[in-house]
Amino acid sequence: MKNQITCCLAGLLLLLAACKKDDTPTTPKVYRFNSSIQVDGLTRTYTVNLPPNYYEASNLSLVIALHGGGGSGAQFESTNNLTPKANASGFIVVYPDGTGVINTWNAGRCCGSAMNNKVDDVKFISQLIDKLLADYKINPKKVYVTGHSNGGMLCYRLACELSNKIAAIAPNGCSMVMSTPCNPARPVPILHMHSKLDQHVPYQGGVGNGVTGISVPPLDSVFTVWSGKNGCTNPNQLSFSNSSYSLTKWLSCSNNSSIHFYLTNDGGHGWPGGLPGGPSSDIPSTAINANDLLWDFFQQYQLP
């Protein structure tokens, strides 16, 4: 009888232990983070979106998406549809915010209070990359930057000054407006998207109808600079053209880099395949999809 009681008690204890283990709450998996870092006395904010496979994956790619002048990370995310692409394709996307009452980036000769106050946005993005690499499961060789308008301008400045941390860039609806010589430490692959109908930042250069009030260089001159920086020996080759868009490539570049230029015949100053940036913004091009193009392009490159 004593042995039976002992066995029953032992079985009951095992059952209770099993129940306790099953009832232990698990830490919920979080996929969205709003955070900030301090840079030069300024609180710099950003939003992180992790893909659904994040907690089972490793060595993920990071895409930093820079909004246009007057926008914000939240606004850019809501109109470019890049987050659904990131979730489907399994990469991390981060949306930083510019500075000022009207958010802008200091891209050199543009734009707004960020330029006037000499805000060091290159330093911000550099420290942001360091923070993200420390906090998340990111492959440091697979960090990429994309951006629209003023954000695209900053893409070019980052390529000039932060090429040791950024594998490739994909600017849209912008030009390069450096105020100092561009001296990248390595060739930088570039995918540029633009509309012929963009009157805010004309692809042929000059002063657009936007609030920047500056004259931007024509894209031909920008690509001439970068084909030289990238050591391209097969420049300016028309790869494809139809009634909707053309694709020009600069190939045979150093370290297998390249430059791809998509020029659409429709749309305006908007994110191709996305939504208008605001109530009075241009209707974006439907001839190409920026998110598909940039992700296909980025996957071809990584830092040495």
**Is residue 105 predicted with pLDDT exceeding 90?**
yes
278-283 contacts at long range (C-beta below 8 A, 24 or more positions apart): 278/75, 282/197, 282/198, 282/200
Widest CA span of the chain, in angstroms? 99
Q: Which residues contact 28 (CB under 8 A, 6 or more apart)?
A: none
* pLDDT tens track for 262-289: 999 999 999 999 999 988 899 999 999 9
Please give the domain boundaries of the chain with CATH numbers for all domains. Answer: 27-298 (3.40.50.1820)
| Cβ contact 69:211 at 8 Å | yes
Listed in sequence order, the DSSP H helices in the chain are 2-23, 73-80, 82-89, 112-116, 121-135, 150-161, 219-229, 290-298
Structure confidence at residue 23 (pLDDT): 52
Report how far residue 102's alpha carbon sits from residue 7's, in angstroms, rounded to the nearest whole number: 74
90, pLDDT greater than 90:
yes
Contacts of 141 (CB under 8 A, 6+ apart): 167, 302, 303, 304
Report yes or no: 208 and 277 within 8 Å, Cβ to Cβ.
no
Instruction: Sort strands 190-195 and 168-172 into parallel, antiparallel or unpaired.
Output: parallel
Q: What's the pTM value of the predicted model, to 2 decimals? A: 0.91
pLDDT tens digits along 147-203? 999 999 999 999 999 999 999 999 999 999 999 999 999 999 999 999 999 999 999
Sequence letter at residue 226: W
Distance CA 148, CA 71 (A): 10
Q: 184, exposed or middle or buried, with CB in 10 Å at 0-12, 13-18, 19+?
A: middle
Q: What kind and span of H or E run contains 239?
A: strand 234-241
